[in-house]
Structure formats: C-alpha cells, structure tokens
Amino acid sequence: MAGIEVSALHKRYPDGTVAVEHVDLSIGDGELFVMLGPSGCGKTTTLRAIAGLERQTSGDIRIGDTLVNDLPPAERDIAMVFQFYALYPHLKTRDNLAFPLRAEGLPKHEVRQRVEEAARLMRLGPLLDRRPRQLSGGEQQRVALARALVRRPRAFLMDEPLTNLDAELRADMRTEIKHLQGELGATMVYVTHDQVEAMSLGHRIAILNKGRVEQVGTPLEVYDRPASLFCAAFIGSPPMNLIEVEVADGELRGQGGLVLTPPPGLPRDRPLVAGVRPEALEVTAPGADRSVPARVVSAEWLGDEIIYVVDHSGGRDVRVRMPPTVRFAADAKVGLRHTGGTPAVYDVRTEELVA
C-alpha cells in the first residue's frame, strides 16, 4: 500500500474541455479518501489521471515515492473498479478473477490460492463457475471488487461503484467496502456524487466543484464547517439554511430578526451570510423565549423526522428539522429560534468561510 500525491493537476481534453482546473490532493497510506462533487466536476477525470488512463495536461502524480506521470497504467500497480463493472463477458467468475494474475505471469498454484482467498473475502464461492451475465448486479459488483483485490495493488480506485445497485444493496455494499478497506489497510480513492455514501465511508472527503477542490476534511468537519457557500449548499439534506446576517451589539442578527451566537473574529465591513443547519433551529409555540414570530409554510413528514419550511417576518424561508412528535399544522403561527452553537459565517462576495 502507498499514499497518493496529486499536485497542481490540470486536464484539458483535446476538444478544449477543461475537466480539471487545479487539483491538489494528499491521500495518506491506508486512507479511505472520498471525492465528492456534482456531475461533471472532474471526479472521474482526476481518478483516471491517477490510474494513468488519461494523461494530465500538467501537474504531478506520485504513488508512494514514485513519480508516475509517464508510467502506463499497467506499471502503476493500482486496481480500479468501474461504475459499469467491466467483467469480461466471455469469462467465468473464476477466470475473471484469475485474469489479472495470469497477465502478471504468476505461477498456477499462487493464482488459485489468491483467487480462493478473494472469493472467500467477497463470499463468491457459489458464483465461481458462472459468467457475468448469469450474475445479478450486486453479485457482479462483488466480483469486480474481488477482481481488484486479487492483485494486491498499491491502491484502489473506485468510480461510483455502487451507482447501479438498488438502495438496500448499496447500503450493504457500503458496509462491506468499508469493512474490507479497514481489514486490508488499503489505500482507497472512492469517487461518488452521493453525499450519504461519502459521509458514511470516507475517512476524509474532498469536495470538488468545476474542476477545483473546494474543501478537504473529515465528514464531521465537512458537515459542521463547510468551507464555502458551494459546500454549504451541497452537503446535507436538506442543506444548510443560508441567512443574511449583520453584526450588531455583539450579536449576529438575521434578516428576519433571528439571533445567532457570533463566532469570534468576524469582519464588520462586508455583507455576510450565516449557514445554519436545519437541526440547529427549532419551531416553538408562538412567543416562546428568544423566538421570533414565524409561520409554517409546509411540512414534510419523513417518518423519523419532520422537515418544516418556515417563513419568518421578512427573512427567507428556512428549513427546520424536528422530531416527529412535535407537530404543527401548515399555516400555523409559531415561533422560530436558534438552538445550535456558533454558525459558520460566509463572505457573500468571496463565497468563502470567514469565521
């Protein structure tokens, strides 16, 4: 296993599309690193550049201590799992697994031993003699994972490997991948546009937007203090409420009169926006302590929680996450108050976190 260093990566396709503007990543040995971002932000391109399937226009890629810029994919010693599983259709599971090993020229008994080991790890025993088309999507994906495992590569690259599976199976496979990664201590770069997947899998998450890295951090950091307005709007479902605020009398006052605890070191001379998670707000009975008058616009019952959309005098509508026991009818007059700690505050012009 080895770490991966990507510095100043830039990729421009021959047709002029700039897929990756500027990406720096430092992925530790044995880390499960997730790249998250909307469609077209350059995740796949970055991953393919690391794999050597795409030659970067400029920038350096190191795997372990080796500068791999000019190495063909075959010599980079990494395995990749694709969204479309890419199992060879004419080969049985057994041979699909053995394939990369035979390509390497390993002796027969070693090949057999490694195939069995990978099959045991991914519980493929009964599937070994089937061809890909006789396997379900989930099974195919397990074979694809096992195929990546047998080589014992220096790092694993995964490009949205679970996208084609249904929700339940996806959750199972997520657990499985996480478990496997921990067990093997494997360096893994995992690309997804599903934030739940990113949050539950990643040791660290990089959020990409338009070919740039917006933020790198642990799932908690990314959730609690999104580094930019883009991240704030991207992470969380529903996402953060962005409330225009002013600093006044040592308080942070939102447009609708909502009072927030100000973080230290706020600049005073610029328009600011506070990012407030839906769970950091509370819908109360009208006139409750520290609350501002508000009205319920709509409510979404999700079973384990209710998302209220609340309109408070003049401010933008905000979303509030409440336990299912607290019920207000639509149009009810209520109170709204902030219960969380200090919010993240952004400069409206630079769109970056200021405090």
Partner 1 sequence: MAVSVDEAVSAGPAPDHPSPARRVRRRGRGRSVLEVVLLTALAVVMLFPVLWMIETSIKENRDVYAVPAEFFGFTVTLDHFRDVFVGADGGRSALSVAFLNSVVVAGVSTVLATVLGVPAAWAYSRFTLKAKKDQLFFVLSTRFMPPVVVVVPIFLMYRQAGLIDTKLGLILIYAAFNVPFTIWMMKGFVDEVPAEYEDAAMLDGYSRLQAFWKFTLPLLVPGIAATAVFALIFSWNEFVFAIFLTSSDEVRTAPPAIAGLIGGTTVDWGLVAAASVVFALPVLVFAYLVRRHLVAGVTLGAVRR
Min dist. Cβ of residue 19 to ligand ATP (A): 3
- Which one of residues 170, 193, 253, 277 is an interface residue with ligand ATP (CB under 6 A)? 193
Query: Counting contacts by CB under 8 A, is residue 71 touching partner 1?
Result: no
CA–CA distance, 234 with 226 (Å, rounded to integer): 9
- Which one of residues 23, 45, 277, 338 is an interface residue with ligand ATP (CB under 6 A)? 45
- Which one of residues 60, 104, 172, 251 is an interface residue with partner 1 (CB under 8 A)? 104
CA–CA distance, 293 with 310 (Å, rounded to integer): 10
193 binds, among ligand ATP, partner 1, Mg ion, none (CB under 5 to 8 A by kind): ligand ATP
H or E segment and range at residue 118: helix 108-121
Over the window 131 to 160, marking each residue x when it contacts partner 1 by CB under 8 A and - when it does not, the resulting string is --------------------x---------
- Tell me which stretch binds ligand ATP (CB under 6 A): 40-48, 114-122, 273-281, 333-341: 40-48
Selection from 310, 174, 325 nearest residue 238 by Cα: 310
DSSP SS3 for 156 = strand
Q: In what order do the strands lie in the sheet with 155-159?
A: 66-67, 58-63, 4-12, 18-27, 212-217, 204-209, 32-36, 188-192, 155-159, 78-81
- State which of positions 35-94 bind Mg ion (CB under 5 A): 44
Nearer to partner 1, 85 or 230 (CB): 85
Selection from 55, 39, 26 nearest residue 210 by Cα: 39
Residues in the chain: 355
41 binds, among Mg ion, ligand ATP, partner 1, none (CB under 5 to 8 A by kind): ligand ATP
39 binds, among partner 1, Mg ion, ligand ATP, none (CB under 5 to 8 A by kind): ligand ATP
Partnered with residue 78 across adjacent β-strands are 155
Over the window 218 to 257, marking each residue x when it contacts partner 1 by CB under 8 A and - when it does not, the resulting string is ----------------------------------------
CA–CA distance, 279 with 200 (Å, rounded to integer): 19
DSSP SS3 for 220 = helix
Q: State the residues that interact with Mg ion by CB under 5 A.
A: 44
Q: State the residues that interact with ligand ATP by CB under 6 A.
A: 13, 15, 17, 19, 37, 39-45, 193
